Structure 1
Amino acid sequence: MQGQNHTVVYLSEQVIILISCALSFMGSSLVILTYIIWPDLRTTPRKLLVYLSVSDWLSAVSYAFGVWKVFKTDSVECIVQGAISTFANTSSFFWTVAIAVYLYVFIVRSSQRLADRLVLMFHLVSWGIPLVITVAAVSLKKIGYDASEVSVGWCWVRIHAHDRFLWMLLTGKIWEFLAYITLPVLYILIKRHIHIAHDALSEYRPILANRPLSQSFSSMADMKLTLIPIVFIILRIWSTVRFILLLADSPVRQNPVLVTLHGIGNTLQGAANCIMFVLFTQPIRTRLCTTLCHCSKCRAEVQQSHDVTHKLLPGQDTSKQREEDGTSRAQTDR
C-alpha cells in the first residue's frame, strides 16, 4: 500500500482550491471586522462566531500555503503548515459544535445564565484540546508529508507513520464524525422547540403572527437553522469519503473530482459562515450596504473635486478662476 501512495494535485485543482481559500479568508475577515466595527452587535453567539472565524481564517491561510507549495517531503515548512492547519481545523470543529450547544441551552433550556457560563468551557475545550493534540502529534513526529492521500497538497499525518490511522482520527476525523451526529441533533431540537413556541404564540397573538415582517424574520431564522448542519456536512463529507477510501485502500480516493471537492470543502467553511451570518443577516447586510454606498458617494465627491481642480490652468488659483468667470458673465450681460 505505501508504495502506491501518491495523489497527483493538478494545476486546475490548485487554482480552484486557492480561490476557495481566498473566499474563506475574506469571509472570515468580514465576520471579524463587522464584530469590531459595530459594538451593538457584540452578542455572545456572534462572539462565538468570531472565535470560529479565527479558526477558519487560520485554516484558510495554512491550507492556501500548502496547496500553493504542494509539499513533497517532510520539510520544516511542511511540518509547520501541517501543525497550524491541524490545530485550526480541529478547533473549527469544536467551535462549530460549541455554537450549537450554546443556542440549545439558551433557546431550548431557556437559561442564558447557564449558556454564558459555558463560554469559558468552550474556550478551554475548543482551544485547549486541539493545542494538546497538535503539540503531541508534532512532538511524536506524526505531522508531515502525507502524499495528498487525505489532503490536497497540504501536510497532515505522515503517510509512513505506522499508526497513521489512529492519529488521523485524533487530529481531526473523530471530531468530524462527532460533529456529523451532534449538529443535526441539536439544530433539530432547536427548530422543534421554536416551532412549538411559535404555534403557542400564534394561538394567543394572531395579529403578530400574521405580520409579514415577523414571518420574514422567522423564516430566515428557520432557514439558517436548517442550513448550518447541512452546509457543514456537504462541505466536510468529501474528506470523510476519501478517508474511508484510504482505509479500504481504494484508488478512487485519487479521483480528480473527489480531490477537488475535498479541497473546496475543507477550505470554504469561512466563506459559508460569512454568507449565512453576515450576508443573510438583515441588520448587518443593511449596515454594510449603507457603508459601501457612503464610501462610493465620498469617492464620487472626491473625484468631482479632483476634476474641478484639474480644469484650472497652471498657476491659476480658484479665486482667479472665480474672478474670470464673473468678468465673463458681466460682459455677456452687456
Structure 2
Amino acid sequence: MALLEQTDVAVYEQVVVLVSCALSVLGSVLVISTFALWSDLRTTPRKLLVFLSIADLLSAVSYSYGVYKVFSDNTWDCVTQGAVSTFSNTSSFFWTMAIAVYLYILIVKSSQRLADSLVLYFHLISWGVPMAITVAAVSLQKIGYDASEVSVGWCWISIEEDDHVLWMLLTGKIWELLAYVILPVLYILIKIHIRKAHAALSEYRPILARNRLSHSIPAMADRKLTLIPIIFIALRIWSTVRFMLLLTGSPAGQNPVLVILHGIGNTFQGAANCIMFVLCTRPVRARLAARLCCRSTDTRSNSDVTSRHTDHTHSLSHTSKRTVSHTGVEESKDEV
C-alpha cells in the first residue's frame, strides 16, 4: 500500500493537545493522591477509578511525547511511545467498562459480594489483555509511524502495513466500538434502577426510615461514577470519526478542528475524571481545599486548624442528614 500523505500538525494544535495532556496528568495524579491521603475514601468504586486513572496517566504521558515530537518515521522512540500508548489506551477502555459492570451488579443486581469478587478478574482482563495485544503488535512489528492519519503526531499502527486496519481494530478500535454499545446500555439500566429505588423509598419513607438495611443499595449508588461512560463517549467519538474517514479515504480526516478534537479527546480523560470526582465532589473538594489552606498558612495555630476541621465535619454531617430527610435515600459516604 502506498504511504498516505501525512496529516500536518500545526504548532497551535500541538500546544492545545499538550495542554490537554498536562491537565490529564495533573488530574490523574490528583485522583490517585486523594485516594491515598484519606482512607475513608477507599471504596471499591474509587479503587477502580484509581486504576483507570493510572491507565489514563500513562496514556497522557505517552501521547504528550508523541505530540511534542510529531514523528515522521519508524524510529525506536516512535515504536516505544506507540507501544505504551497502545497498552494504556486499551487498558483505559477495559477499566471504563469494568467500572460500569461493577456498578451494574452492585446497584441493579444488588450483590456487593458478587461485584467485589469480580475485581480480580477486572485486573486480569484490564491489564492482561492490553499487554498481550501490545506484545503481539510489537513482536510482529505492527506499531510505528501512521502519518497522523489516526493520531495527532504520535505513533500507533504503521500505516504502511497491508493489514493496518485489522491491527487498528485489535489494538483499540474494536474495544472502543464495543464500549459505545455496552456502556450506554449499562448506564441506562443503572439510572432506571436508581430512579425506581428513589420512587419506592419516597413512597414508603415512614416504614423504611426505621430500617437502615433498606438504605444500603441506594447508599452504594455512586451516581457520579455512572457519568464515566458519558465522558468516555464524548471524548472518544472524535477518534472514531477519524478512523471511519480513514477507511473511506476521505480528506476530511485532516480537518484541523477534527484533529484538535481528536487530540483532546484521547488525552483529556484523566482531567475529566478529576473534575467530576475530585473538584465537583463536595467532601473531597473541601478536604483538599482545607489541606492546601493549612499548608499555605504557617501562622495558623493547631487549635484553630482542629476547630475548623471539626466545624467542617459537623457541616458535612448536617448536610448528609438534610439530604436523607429530603430524598428519603442515604447518599454514599463520600458522594464519590
In the superposition, the TM-score normalised over structure 2's length comes to 0.83
Q: Which residue of 1 aligns with 2:27?
A: 27
The alignment status of 1:237 with 2:237, answered yes or no, reads yes
The CA distance in 1 between the partners of 2:201 and 2:190, in whole Å, is 16
The CA distance in 1 between the partners of 2:259 and 2:125, in whole Å, is 31
CA RMSD after TM alignment: 2.1
Q: Which residue of 2 aligns with 1:61?
A: 61
Check conservation: 2:96, 2:229, Cα contact below 8 A: no
The CA distance in 2 between the partners of 1:182 and 1:110, in whole Å, is 20
The alignment status of 1:100 with 2:104, answered yes or no, reads no
The CA distance in 1 between the partners of 2:47 and 2:19, in whole Å, is 27
2:297 match: secondary structure? helix
Question: Which amino acid in structure 2 is aligned with residue 145 of structure 1?
Answer: Y
Question: Which amino acid in structure 2 is aligned with residue 128 of structure 1?
Answer: G
Q: Which residue of 1 aligns with 2:175?
A: 175
Quote how far apart the aligned CAs of 1:88 are.
0.2
Deviations 1:52-94 (A, max 9, x none): 0000000000000000000111000000000000000000000
Q: Which residue of 1 aligns with 2:310?
A: none
The CA distance in 2 between the partners of 1:173 and 1:278, in whole Å, is 29
The CA distance in 2 between the partners of 1:134 and 1:275, in whole Å, is 30
The CA distance in 2 between the partners of 1:260 and 1:253, in whole Å, is 11
Residues 102-181 of structure 1 mapped to structure 2, 5 A cutoff? 102-181=102-181
Q: Which residue of 2 aligns with 1:193?
A: 193
Quote how far apart the aligned CAs of 1:182 are.
1.0
Check conservation: 2:4, 2:147, Cα contact below 8 A: no
The CA distance in 1 between the partners of 2:226 and 2:102, in whole Å, is 17
The CA distance in 2 between the partners of 1:208 and 1:5, in whole Å, is 66
Deviations 1:278-317 (A, max 9, x none): 112221111011111112222789xxxxxxxxxxxxxxxx
CA pair 10-270 structure 1, distance change in 2 beyond 3 A: same
Q: Which residue of 2 aligns with 1:323?
A: none
Question: Which amino acid in structure 1 is aligned with residue 124 of structure 2?
Answer: L
The CA distance in 1 between the partners of 2:261 and 2:207, in whole Å, is 47
Question: Which amino acid in structure 2 is aligned with residue 270 of structure 1?
Answer: G
Q: Which residue of 2 aligns with 1:83?
A: 83
Check conservation: 1:27, 1:274, Cα contact below 8 A: yes
Check conservation: 1:144, 1:155, Cα contact below 8 A: yes
Count of matched residue pairs: 293
1:185 match: secondary structure? helix
Of stretches 198-207 and 18-27 in structure 1, the one that deviates more from structure 2 is 198-207
Quote how far apart the aligned CAs of 1:145 are.
0.5
Q: Which residue of 1 aligns with 2:70?
A: 70
Check conservation: 1:21, 1:63, Cα contact below 8 A: yes
Q: Which residue of 2 aligns with 1:277?
A: 277
Q: Which residue of 2 aligns with 1:320?
A: none
In the superposition, the TM-score normalised over structure 1's length comes to 0.84
Check conservation: 1:66, 1:154, Cα contact below 8 A: yes
Check conservation: 1:187, 1:225, Cα contact below 8 A: no
The CA distance in 1 between the partners of 2:141 and 2:226, in whole Å, is 40
CA pair 12-300 structure 1, distance change in 2 beyond 3 A: farther
Which 4+ residue blocks in structure 1 deviate beyond 2 angstroms?
1-5, 206-209, 224-230
Task: Structure 2: give runs of 5+ residues left out of the alignment.
Answer: 210-217, 302-336
Deviations 1:307-330 (A, max 9, x none): xxxxxxxxxxxxxxxxxxxxxxxx
Question: Which amino acid in structure 1 is aligned with residue 237 of structure 2?
Answer: I
The CA distance in 1 between the partners of 2:56 and 2:207, in whole Å, is 42
Check conservation: 2:96, 2:228, Cα contact below 8 A: no
The CA distance in 1 between the partners of 2:238 and 2:158, in whole Å, is 20
Check conservation: 2:151, 2:263, Cα contact below 8 A: yes
Q: Which residue of 2 aligns with 1:266?
A: 266
Which structure would you say has the larger Rg? 1
The CA distance in 2 between the partners of 1:225 and 1:199, in whole Å, is 21
The CA distance in 2 between the partners of 1:227 and 1:109, in whole Å, is 19
Task: Structure 1: give runs of 5+ residues left out of the alignment.
Answer: 210-216, 302-334
